[in-house]
A and B are shown apart, each in its own frame.
Chain A
Amino acid sequence: MNESDDTLVGRARRGDPDAFEVLLRRYFRASYLVAMAQLGERAEAEDACQDAFVKAWEQLEQCRDGGRFGAWLLRIVRNTAHNRRGYLRVRRTESLEDNAEVYAKGSAERELERRELAVALRAALATLPPVQREIVLMHDLDDWRHARIAALLDISEGMSRRHLSDARRRLRALLRGRASEEAQHD
Chain B
Amino acid sequence: MTDRDEERIDLSALGGPDPLQENSVVRGAMLRIRAAPAREPLLAALAAWWRPGLAAAILVFALGIFLARERSRLVETGPEPVEARLIDWVLAGRVPSNGELLATFQGYSR
Q: Is the CB of A142 within 8 A of B48?
A: no
- The one of B1, B10, B21, B36 in contact with A32, judged by C-beta atoms closer than 8 angstroms, is B21
Q: How far is the CB of B3 from chain A (nearest CB, A)?
A: 6
| Residue with the highest number of chain A CB atoms closer than 10 Å, among B9, B22, B30 | B9
Interface string of B1-34 (1 = CB under 8 A from A): 1010011111111111100011011101110111
A139 to B38, CA, bound (A): 38
Q: Is the CB of A21 within 8 A of B11?
A: no
Q: Is the CB of A117 within 8 A of B33?
A: no
A20 to B22, CA, bound (A): 14
Residues of chain B within 8 A of A24, CB atoms compared: 26, 29-30
A66 to B25, CA, bound (A): 23
Q: How far is the CB of B40 from chain A (nearest CB, A)?
A: 10
Query: Given A54-B32, A121-B14, A161-B1, are A46 and B9 neighbors across the interface (CB < 8 Å)?
Result: no
| Chain A contact residues, majority secondary structure | helix
A127, CB-defined interface residue at 8 Å:
no
A57, CB-defined interface residue at 8 Å:
yes
Q: How far is the CB of A167 from chain B (nearest CB, A)?
A: 8
Residue of A nearest to B29 (CB): A53
A32 to B20, CA, bound (A): 13
Query: Given A28-B17, A46-B21, A139-B3, are A168 and B9 neighbors across the interface (CB < 8 Å)?
Result: yes
Q: Is the CB of B11 within 8 A of A136?
A: yes
- The one of A13, A17, A36, A117 in contact with B13, judged by C-beta atoms closer than 8 angstroms, is A117
Query: Given A121-B11, A165-B6, A171-B9, are A28 and B33 neighbors across the interface (CB < 8 Å)?
Result: no
A140, CB-defined interface residue at 8 Å:
yes
Q: Is the CB of B15 within 8 A of A28?
A: no
Residues of chain B within 8 A of A118, CB atoms compared: 13-15
Query: Given A29-B22, A50-B25, are A21 and B30 neighbors across the interface (CB < 8 Å)?
Result: yes
A145, CB-defined interface residue at 8 Å:
yes
> Could you list which residues of chain B lie within 8 angstroms of chain A, going by C-beta atoms?
1, 3, 6-17, 21-22, 24-26, 28-30, 32-34, 36, 38-39, 44-45, 47-48
